[in-house]
Amino acid sequence: MKEDKVVVEKERLLVLYASQTGNAVDAADRVAREAERGGCPSVAVLSVDSFPPRCLPDESTVIFIVSTTGQGDVPDSMKAFWLFLLQRNLSHQWLEGLRFAVFGLGDSSYQKYNFTAKKLDRRLSDLGAKSIIEKGLGDDQHPSGYEGALDPWLVSLWKMLNQMTPTILPRVSDIQDAHMKKLDRPKFQISYHFVEAKEEFSNTPGLKDFEKMVEGARSMSPAKHLYNDNRPHYFLQMVKNQRLNKGGEDRDVRHFEFIASPSEIRYHAGDILEILPSQNPVAVDSFIHRCNLDPDCYIKVQQNADGKQTPYSQVDGFMNFVRLKTFVALTMDIASASPRRYFFEVMSFYATAEHEKERLQYFASPEGRDDLYQYNQKERRTVLEVLEDFPSVQMPFEWLVQLVPPLKTRAFSISSSPLAHPNQVHLTVSIVSWMSPFKRKREGLCSTWLAGIDPLDSQGVYIPAWINRGTLPSPPPSLPLVLIGPGTGCAPFRAFVQERAVQSLNGPTAPVLFFFGCRNEENDFLYRDFWLSHTHGGGVLSAEKGGGFFVAFSRDQPQKVYVQHKMKQHGGRIWSLLSAGAAIYVAGSSTKMPADVTSMLEDIVSQESGVSKESAARWLKMQERAGRFHIEAWS
Report the binding-site residues for FMN.
Answer: 19-24, 67-70, 105-114, 140
**Hey, CA dihedral for 278, 282, 285, 290, is it positive or negative?**
negative
CB 241 within 8 A of CB 452: no
Q: What are the φ and ψ backbone dihedral angles of 209, each rounded to 5 degrees?
A: -65, -40
What is the C-alpha to C-alpha distance for residues 377 and 365, in angstroms, rounded to an integer?
Answer: 16
What number of other Cβ atoms are within 10 A of residue 520's Cβ? 15
The alpha carbon of residue 142 and the mean position of all alpha carbons in its chain are separated, in whole angstroms, by 18
CB 191 within 8 A of CB 275: no
What is the C-alpha to C-alpha distance for residues 463 and 259, in angstroms, rounded to an integer?
Answer: 10
Q: How far is CA 341 from CA 167, 225, 226, 322, 379, in A?
A: 29, 21, 20, 29, 14
> What sections of 132-178 are H helices per DSSP?
147-164, 172-176
Q: How far is CA 385 from CA 283, 335, 407, 446, in A?
A: 10, 8, 16, 19
Q: What are the φ and ψ backbone dihedral angles of 82, each rounded to 5 degrees?
A: -65, -40
The DSSP symbol for 319 reads G
Report the binding-site residues for FAD.
Answer: 380, 410-413, 444-447, 634
What is the C-alpha to C-alpha distance for residues 91 and 98, in angstroms, rounded to an integer?
Answer: 14
Q: What is the side-by-side strand order in the sheet with 188-193?
A: 188-193, 298-303, 322-323
Report the binding-site residues.
Answer: 19-24, 67-70, 105-114, 140, 380, 410-413, 444-447, 488, 554-555, 560-564, 596, 634
**Cis peptide leading into residue 262 (ω within 30°):** yes
Which residues are paired to 61 by β-bridges?
A: 13, 99
Q: What are the φ and ψ backbone dihedral angles of 65, each rounded to 5 degrees?
A: -120, 110
What is the C-alpha to C-alpha distance for residues 132 and 119, in angstroms, rounded to an integer?
Answer: 16
> What sections of 306-382 are H helices per DSSP?
324-331, 341-350, 354-363, 369-375
What is the C-alpha to C-alpha distance for residues 610 and 319, in angstroms, rounded to an integer?
Answer: 70
What is the C-alpha to C-alpha distance for residues 339 and 344, in angstroms, rounded to an integer?
Answer: 8
CB 28 within 8 A of CB 15: yes
CB 536 within 8 A of CB 506: no
H or E segment and range at residue 257: strand 252-260
Vertex 153: Cα angle to 168 and 176 (nearest 5): 60
**E strand spans, 485-571:** 512-518, 548-553
Report the binding-site residues for NADP(+).
Answer: 488, 554-555, 560-564, 596
What is the C-alpha to C-alpha distance for residues 531 and 548, in angstroms, rounded to an integer?
Answer: 10
**Hey, CA dihedral for 398, 402, 403, 406, is it positive or negative?**
positive
What number of other Cβ atoms are within 10 A of residue 425's Cβ? 24
Amino acid of residue 423: N
